Amino acid sequence: MNATTAEPASAPVPEDALRRVLAGERPARPGPLLTSLTFGWRALLKIKHVPEQLVDVTMFPIMFTLMFTYLFGGALAGSTQEYLQFLLPGILVQANVMITMNTGITLNTDIQKGVFDRFRSLPVWRPSPLVGALLGDLVRYSIGSAIVIMLGLVLGFRPEGGAVGVVLSVVLLLVFSFCLSWLWTMLSLILRTPNSVAGVSLMVMFPLTFVSNIFVDPKTMPGWLQGVVEVNPITHLATVVRGLMHGSVPAGEIGWVLVSSALLVAVFGPITMVLYRNKK
């Protein structure tokens, strides 16, 4: 017969040691910045494990840039190279604002899986899971911007504003995209499925991006449509990005974009937090 030897039981923790641990000082509660960055890192890890999330920031901008440049450039501007100088800043705007929709879809997926119920039970700053998710998406926006700009340079885009103008335009675009994401965050807490969030987001963003000055100069449009285009916030954003990249600084337009960005957060941020707090 094979003799079996029982594993020795783990030694009990001395009572004095246990008392010292319990009597020690409680670790400091993490602040809002640290917890938000932690949840932002979680969003980046999700991209690492599911790289398909980068399809919308890589393939779609490339497809739109190539199709509009070579299919419509000659008809709209008489030259593909001339049209590329006008189009690429607009494509950069469209790519980023369209990507923001993924924020709401991802958050709604987490809600359906019960992940956010766990987040709300943690002793952290209440908005940190939402802010962290938005901060993580800023990396996705930056990747999309870099891809569009590099493709444009390869095709012949030459920004007269130089590197400074390009960087400033991307920074302003990231600020607006971050603020716009609060709208989709709010929708993710109202709508019941990721598909419904995607459908409503597309219904909002397609008219905003196409009824703007991204693809054509509004002067060629009917008068009534020009009025619609002029009040479209995407039009002002595209004007600023196009101006900075080509060496002009439209101060009034920059102020308009910053104000609209602040209004997006001021309106949708509090609504999102109320919905998040009362979500069942």
- The secondary structure of residue 2, as a DSSP letter, is -
Give the span between the Cα atoms of 116 and 119, in whole angstroms.
Answer: 5
Helix axes 80-99, 128-155, angle to 10 degrees: 170
Locate 219 and state its tokens. Answer: 């002067």
Contact 92, 241 (CB under 8 A): yes
Contact partners, residue 120, CB within 8 Å, separation at least 6: 126, 129, 276, 279
Report how far residue 247's alpha carbon sits from residue 70's, in angstroms, rounded to the nearest whole number.
25
CB of 108 within 8 A of CB of 194?
Answer: yes
- Per residue of the chain (280 residues), give pLDDT as tens: 444 454 555 556 566 666 666 666 666 777 888 888 898 898 888 777 777 777 777 788 888 888 888 887 777 777 888 889 999 999 999 988 988 888 888 888 888 888 877 887 888 888 888 888 888 888 888 988 999 999 999 999 999 989 999 999 999 999 999 999 999 999 999 998 889 998 999 999 999 999 999 988 888 888 899 999 999 999 999 999 999 999 887 788 899 999 999 999 999 999 998 888 887 6
Q: pTM of the full predicted structure?
A: 0.83
CA distances 101 to 96, 204, 253, Å, are 9, 10, 24
Question: 3-class DSSP state for residue 162?
Answer: helix
Ramachandran category for residue 278: left, alpha or beta (phi over 0 → left; psi -120 to 50 → alpha): alpha
Could you tell me how far CA 85 lies from the centroid of its own chain? Answer: 25
| Residue appearing with tokens 């002793």 | 123
Residues sharing a CB contact under 8 Å with residue 77, sequence separation 6 or more, in sequence order: 83, 86
